Amino acid sequence: MRALWRDTPASFAGRFSRFEEVSIDPKPVQRPGPPIWIGGRSDAALVRAARQGDGWMAYVVHADRYAQSTAKIREEADRAGRTLDGFVNAHLAFVTIGSDYEKARDTWVRLLSKRYAQDFGPLAAKYGIIGTAAQCAEQLERFIAAGCSCFVMNPICDNEDTERQFEQIAADILPRFAKR
């Protein structure tokens, strides 16, 4: 992608793809191109993020694993002789805010179990951002301490509750982190 965004025409020969004399237009406004964030939790994804990405997006990990993953990315970047200036560590957070933890957990488990056709009950305490706004903020704080600088909030709620969930994230969670 970087060759296509930069060169006209572009050629590339890699392990999984190759092309010659290809062009895409219009070129991106950003220079040298839009940032490329690598998603995933496997070692291969972390190595790819460290060597080629402008950022990394985690999902379905707990804060301890997130910290281990950011350390692995730093180590791999050092090994490759690459600085991570401007690199973004992000996390896709499955968030359910409720009047109490149990109600929020029940919603989170019900909807994600349906979405992924497996029981998310055992995963809730480990991977969910669940509970009151204050409880959710505490859980997000663990990721910030582990090196996360950007969250993509995915409200896990019934469709008719989506707007309220986003409003509650904006009103009751984000202000807690505004100074960062």
Domains along the chain?
1-34 (no CATH), 36-177 (3.20.20.30)
State yes or no: pLDDT of 179 exceeds 80: no
State yes or no: pLDDT of 27 exceeds 80: yes
Q: What is the pLDDT of residues 121-165, one digit of tens each?
A: 999 999 999 999 999 999 999 999 999 999 999 999 999 999 999
Q: What is the pLDDT of residues 55-74, one digit of tens each?
A: 999 999 999 999 999 999 99
* Tokens, residue 132: 């009151």
Cα–Cα separations (whole angstroms), residue 124 to 1, 22, 94, 137, 167 = 37, 47, 10, 16, 23
State yes or no: pLDDT of 24 exceeds 70: yes
pLDDT level of residue 180 (50, 70, 90 thresholds):
low
* Residue-level pLDDT at 32: 83
**Cβ(126)–Cβ(62) below 8 Å:** yes
Q: What is the pLDDT of residues 77-111, one digit of tens each?
A: 999 999 999 999 999 999 999 999 999 999 999 99
* Residue-level pLDDT at 160: 96
State yes or no: pLDDT of 31 exceeds 90: no
pTM of the entire predicted model? 0.88
Mean pLDDT over 12-32 rounds to 91
Helices 133-145 + 63-79 axis angle, to 10: 30
* Residue-level pLDDT at 178: 82
Q: What is the pLDDT of residues 157-168, one digit of tens each?
A: 999 999 999 999
Q: What is the mean pLDDT of the chain?
A: 95
The residue count of the chain comes to 180
With left for phi above 0 and alpha for psi between -120 and 50, is residue 117 left, alpha or beta?
Answer: left
